[in-house]
Amino acid sequence: MQKSLSPLLLLLFLQGFSNPAIAQVDEDQLGAWYMFMWTADPEIGAGFGLQGDVQHRNWDAYGDLEQLLIRGGLTWSPQDSNLKFTLGLAHISSGAFGPSRDKTREKRLYQELLIPQRVSDRFYLTHRLRLEQRDVDNQDFRNRFRYSFALNYPLNQTTLSRGALYLSFYNELFLNLEQDVGNNRRVDYFDRNRFYAAIGYSLSDSSRLQFGYMEQTLDEISKGQLQFNWLHSF
């Protein structure tokens, strides 16, 4: 009996250490993401502008770095259209869960299409399609597709201008377009899904604050994060 159990115990032992970053994550520990998102429309040509964001993501409320993301891009909106196209770059530094100081770095190109839509007086919808080319440490270069559907709903007025108190929701699906990531490692086509709900307040016509909760679901884990967002237009 002991000999027959030994291979099984060995297999379970190896599986437990096959992906330590995932295996160690405490799904019940609430994380926190601090985010600043900005847009600008300088006089550099008809329809052109800039946008970007800085995000500091923690596995816990503060101190255990999950990711530091810095992203920026050039935007263009066709004349007489509310569509916005973006070509941009991002740099991401990802930390391991817990006391480890190990980090993984990623350089990323992305192309994006933003489609805003207003339904009736109060439903502000946004569709976002994004294609990313990812260069992650110790992995093969690969592509990822993202689709986000967002809704803002003002409570005390019909616009999101100064003084608006509003609800905000979004859901974003991530899909890997290649499964082979190098060194005989593979990932699923499904990468992750994010669902978010928040309450927001417009400090001015160009600046808004949001506080909310996001549930991020991967194949292996599902974890919640508090989000503190500042959105500003220059």
Alpha carbons 144 and 116: distance in angstroms, whole number: 22
Chain centroid offset of residue 54 CA: 11
Question: What are the pLDDT digits (tens) for 172-189?
Answer: 999 999 999 898 899 999
Question: What are the pLDDT digits (tens) for 53-94?
Answer: 999 999 988 888 999 999 999 999 998 889 999 999 999 999
Contact 124, 114 (CB under 8 A): no
Kindly give, in sequence order, each residue whose CB lies less than 8 Å from that of residue 207, ignoring residues fewer than 6 positions away: 230, 231, 232, 233
Q: Read off the pLDDT band of 127 (50, 70, 90).
A: very high
Q: In which domain, by residue range, is 138 found?
A: 2-233
Kindly give, in sequence order, each residue whose CB lies less than 8 Å from that of residue 126, ignoring residues fewer than 6 positions away: 114, 115, 116, 117, 148, 149, 150, 151, 152, 170
Residue 7 clears pLDDT 70, i.e. is over it: no
pLDDT (0 to 100) of residue 19: 39
Q: What is the CATH number of the domain that holds 18?
A: 2.40.160
Domains held by the chain: number: 1
Question: What are the pLDDT digits (tens) for 89-109?
Answer: 999 999 988 877 888 999 999
